Every structure is written in structure tokens, then in C-alpha cells.
Structure 1
Amino acid sequence: MRGRRTADGAVDRWQRADWWGVVLDCPDALSLARFYSDLLGWPIWRPESADEHGAALDLGEGVGYLSFQRDPGYEAPVWPPEVGRPRMMMHLDFEVSDLDAAVDHALELGASLPEHQPQDGVRVLLDPVGHPFCLYS
């Protein structure tokens, strides 16, 4: 780990130089950041500078982040996949303690629950702009 060290020898999280993250394209970055912030309880990082063009969530520990960037030509992937249609390139997985309650919460925030569910103990949902994500227990 590179970065400035604290008095006890630890590298301060904000000074580390090994950050990594996932960036989701979308039509409005701040709107999608608010959805995931409400869903996961992670605050928007530097909310004063977040806007429809770019926003990120502060995951609280470590050096990972979830970020959102505006793509005016964004096309939602199709779930389940169909030949010749935009396909999911990746998806997010989140472990939850109460699957039914977590699904209800996601639906209240604007997610949708597709009919096709490929396995027990996991629910595939679509965020408000169509990215698939999974909740599992």
C-alpha cells in the first residue's frame, strides 16, 4: 500500500494510492447514486460536487468505491439476456440478512423485480435505469 502513514504506521484511507471501483453508466449519475445510497446506506461522497454527470458512494472502509457517470446514449441491458439486444456486462451482488425485507426496500426505492429468477436464495432486481443487481442471503 502506498500513501502517507499515520503515527501508528497505518496508511490513512484517504491518502492511499491503491483505490479501485466500479463505475456504472447511466442517464443521470446523481439520481442513480441516490438510489444506491438509499438502498445500501452508503453516503454520497462529496455531495456538494456530485451532479447528473458524476457521483460516487463512500463505502466507509477500505479503498473501493461505487461510482456513476452520465452517458447520454445509455441503453439498459435486457434481463434475461436476449440475442441481439444489449447484454449485461457485469452486475452487483449484495448480501442481506433478510432477503424478503431487502427486496421490498429495493422495490420501494424504484427497483423492479423481473419474472425470471434463476436460483433460490437470490433475487435479481433491476435498478431504476435497468442495471441488474442481486440480493442474496
Structure 2
Amino acid sequence: MRGRSVSDPSVDRWSRRDWWGVVLDCPDALALATFYSELLGWPLWKPETADAEGAALDPGEGVCGLTFQRDPGYERPVWPPEPGRPRMSMHLDFEVDDLTEAVAHAIELGAALSDFQPQDDVRVLLDPAGHPFCLYS
């Protein structure tokens, strides 16, 4: 990408200048960050600054991130899509070793299993803010 540094992967992650990430809008950033922190095992990044307005996770390696920001006008998306209703604009995918165990854990943390499941080896779940995400094996 023009205007973006390319870093050597052997450089310490905190010294690199090629970070990228996904930002999810939601009604409460800290609540959704806490859900994904517990789901993925990634701690909050700078937990002393995380609040309902904004929060991020630290995956512990690499140069990508998952961030959450409060949107006071947030409308929960509908899955599967329905005409005239808010649609998902993106979703997250996570590969797992044991699909049954991973789904049970996500539900225990507050996710909901979608009624619509388009594939046998993938489970579509909805996070507490309604964003669809997939677990697959």
C-alpha cells in the first residue's frame, strides 16, 4: 500500500510500523472487548484506558489487532439478512480444533447460535452485540 511502511518480520512487534486491525462498532466497547478477550484468550490492551467508549485486545504476537468503539446509533445486524433490516458488513472467522467445544464455550460467554447454519463444518454465532462470527474446523 502506498504511504505505508513495510517492516521486516524479524523486527520486534512493538517497533514495527505496519500494524493493521479490525474495528467493531457496538453499544458498549468494554463489554464486547471483554467477550472477545475471554473467547480468544487475548488480554485487553492497556486495560487502564479501556471503557465503554473504546477498548482493544492484544493478541500477543503479530501486528494485527481487534478494537471496539461505541457507536451511540449502533443497530444490531440481522443474520441471515432480511430486506429493510440492518445487515452485517463483515464477520470474523476463527479456526478451531473442536467445533462442539468451541461453540459451547462461546455460548457460555454470551454468544448465541444462529438459527441459520449454511455449512456442516462451520457454526455461525452472534456475539453479544449481534455481530455474526464463524467458528470452523
With the shorter chain as reference, the TM-score category is over 0.9
Q: Give, in whole Å, the separation in 1 of the partners of 2:45 and 2:6.
A: 22
Residue 46 in structure 1 maps to residue 46 in structure 2: yes
Aligned partner of 2:26 in structure 1 is 26
Extract unaligned runs of 5+ from structure 2.
none
Give the Cα–Cα distance (whole angstroms) in 1 for the partners of residues 82 and 115 of structure 2. Answer: 15
State the SS of the aligned residue for 1:48.
helix
d(CA) in 2 for partners of 1:100, 1:62 = 28
Equivalence map 1:1-137=2 (5 Å): 10-137=10-137
List, as ranges, runs of 4+ consecutive aligned residues in structure 1 with deviation greater than 3 Å. none
RMSD in angstroms over aligned alpha carbons? 1.5
Deviation at 1:2, TM superposition (A): 5.3
- Alignment partners' CA distance in 1, 2:6 and 2:83: 44
Q: Hey, what's the Cα distance between the residues in 1 that align with 2:126 and 2:12?
A: 36
| Structure 1 spans left out of the alignment, 5+ residues | none
Deviation at 1:60?
1.1
- After superposition, the C-alpha distances for 1:8-34 in whole angstroms (9 at most, x for unaligned) are x94221111110000000011000000
Q: Which amino acid aligns with 1:22?
A: V
Q: How many residues align?
A: 133
Aligned partners of 1:18, 1:2: CA distance in 2, in Å?
A: 6
SS in structure 2 opposite 1:133?
strand
Question: Does the C-alpha gap of structure 1 residues 118 and 49 become closer, same or farther in structure 2, counting only changes over 3 Å?
Answer: same
Q: For 1:17, give the aligned amino acid.
A: R
Amino acid at match of 2:38: D
Measured in 1, the distance between the counterparts of 2:10 and 2:80 equals 45
- Structure 2 counterpart SS, 1:94: strand
Q: Assess, with a 3 A threshold, how the Cα gap between structure 1 residues 83 and 62 changes in structure 2: closer, same or farther.
A: same
TM-score when normalising by structure 1: 0.93
